[in-house]
Copies of this chain bind each other. A is one copy, B any other.
Amino acid sequence: MQENRTEDAGGVVEAASSASTTSHSLIDDATEYISLNFSDANALAMRVWMSLRRTSNIVFYDLQASLREHRSVTPPTLILLLILDMFSPLEYRELTRISGMNRAAISPHIENLSKRKLIRRKPSPRDRRTEIIEMTEAGRAAFAEAFTVYNERAEYWADNLTVEERSELSRLLEKLVSNVPPDEDTRSGEIEL
C-alpha cells in the first residue's frame, strides 16, 4: 500500500491546515488535504491523476530536451515519422487518426517535412481531396537517428522499475483508458510519443 519514507526535508507545509505531519512528498500532502477538506471527493482518484500528470510531464520534458540537441526532428514530428515508418504509404487522414493530432496541427508539420525531403506527397488515385504520404530514405534515416536518442532517455527512466513493474505499469495505464471507443473524438491518438 503506502510506503513510509521519513527521509524528507521539503517542509513548506507550515501554512497547511493539516501541518506537522511526517511529510513525504507534496502529492502525499495534497492527497491528505483533499480527503480532509473535500469529503465528497475521491482522493485516491486524484492521487492517481496527480501522479500521472507529474510523471508524464517530468519524463516528457526530459525526452523533449534530448531531442532539442539534435535539431533535425522535433517532438511533434517524431510521432508522425514513427507512424509513417510503420505504415509508410499512408493517407493523410489516417495519419491524423492514428496520431490523434488535429489536422490543422498536422498540416504545417507535413509541409515542413516535405520541404526537407523526409517525406513525399502524392495525389491519391482514389480521392482527389486527400493525399498519400510516403517516407523517403532520408526520412527513415532521420527517424532512426532521433528515435535512438529518444529511446535512450526512455530507457533511462524505465530503469527505475523492474521489468515486471514496467509491464504492470503499462497494463494498468492501458486498462485505465480501456473504455475509450476506438474512434472517439478524444483529441488523442492511437500511438503517442
Contacts and interface: CB of A to CB of B under 8 A. Distances in A.
Contacts of A160: 175-179
A52 B161 CA distance: 14
Interface string A65-82: 000000000000000001
A170 to B, nearest CB: 5
The CB with the most chain B CB atoms within 10 A, among A10, A15, A88, A190, is that of A10
A147 B2 CA distance: 25
* Main secondary structure on A side of the interface with B: helix
A103 interface: no
A138 interface: no
Contacts of A34: 151
